[in-house]
């Protein structure tokens, strides 16, 4: 990056991104604690939450490595290739008591993931630095998968399109 202004802007963007990721990590840890506290659930819910928490922790690492200048396109490609959730095809929508027990928290997590997806998608479009652009593209792709996982658990069929949308447009929380 060229000058001090560009470095300052990049640092502010990364700080904002880390706020999103910290919130997501806390959300999925709280949900997992609910599982461990004896709140019964389907196996695919527990597996999905474990995957989501692991990926949010990986996002934290991507962002901190990017801020330290330790992240290259090759590493990003490896992360993107290895992140897909193998269990996504086996996710069945929660129903009955399971849906009643988990819908509120999962809906909150979905809203948070949608905001983060929009944030990363917009940053990807605005970035002029190839490795930074690719980093935000990878993060947006991973967030999109999180949205798909949560929508599957909640039985919401219409995922976000590949482009970012504003929170008030279709595909946003409450739009289904």
What DSSP line would sit under the chain, residue for residue? Answer: --SHHHHHHHHHHHHHHHHHHHHHHHHHHHHHHHHHTT----HHHHHHHHHHHHHHHHHHHHHHHHHTT---HHHHHHHHHH---GGGGG-----HHHHHHHHHHHHHHHHHHHHHHHHHHHHHHH--SHHHHHHHHHHHHHHHHHHHHHHHHHT---PPPSS---TTSTTSTT--
| pLDDT (0 to 100) of residue 7 | 72
Confidence category of residue 5, pLDDT binned at 50, 70, 90: confident
Closest to 152 measured CA to CA, from 115, 100, 99, 83: 99
Find the range with the poorest average confidence among 48-62, 111-125, 154-168.
Answer: 154-168
In whole angstroms, give the CA distance from residue 116 to residue 19.
10
Q: pTM for this one? A: 0.80
| pLDDT (0 to 100) of residue 168 | 39
| pLDDT (0 to 100) of residue 10 | 77
Q: Where are the domains of the chain?
A: 4-154
Q: What is the pLDDT of residues 102-153, one digit of tens each?
A: 999 999 999 999 999 999 999 999 988 887 888 888 899 999 999 999 999 9
In whole angstroms, give the CA distance from residue 144 to residue 162.
8
Confidence category of residue 77, pLDDT binned at 50, 70, 90: confident
Confidence category of residue 39, pLDDT binned at 50, 70, 90: low
CB contact at 8 A, 173 and 114: yes
Superfamily for 4-154?
Answer: Ferritin, core subunit, four-helix bundle (1.20.1260.10)
| pLDDT (0 to 100) of residue 74 | 80
If one compares 156 and 11, the residue with the highest pLDDT of the two is 156
Please say if the pLDDT value at position 167 is more than 50.
no
């Amino acid at each position: 990056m060229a000058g001090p202004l560009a470095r300052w802007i990049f640092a502010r963007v990364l700080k904002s991104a880390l706020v999103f990721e910290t919130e997501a990590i806390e959300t999925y840890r709280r949900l997992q604690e609910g599982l461990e506290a004896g709140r019964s659930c389907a196996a695919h819910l527990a597996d999905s939450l474990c995957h989501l928490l692991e990926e949010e922790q990986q996002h934290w690492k991507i962002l901190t490595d990017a801020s330290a200048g330790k992240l290259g396109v090759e590493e990003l490609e490896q992360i993107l290739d290895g992140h897909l959730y193998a269990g996504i095809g086996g996710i069945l929508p929660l129903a009955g008591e399971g849906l009643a027990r988990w819908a509120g928290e999962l809906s909150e997590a979905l809203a948070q993931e949608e905001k983060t997806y929009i944030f990363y998608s917009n940053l990807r479009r605005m970035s002029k630095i190839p490795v930074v652009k690719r980093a935000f593209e990878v993060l947006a792709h991973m967030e999109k998968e999180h949205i798909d996982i949560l929508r599957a658990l909640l039985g919401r069929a219409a995922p976000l399109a590949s482009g970012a949308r504003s929170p008030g447009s279709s595909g946003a929380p409450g739009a289904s």
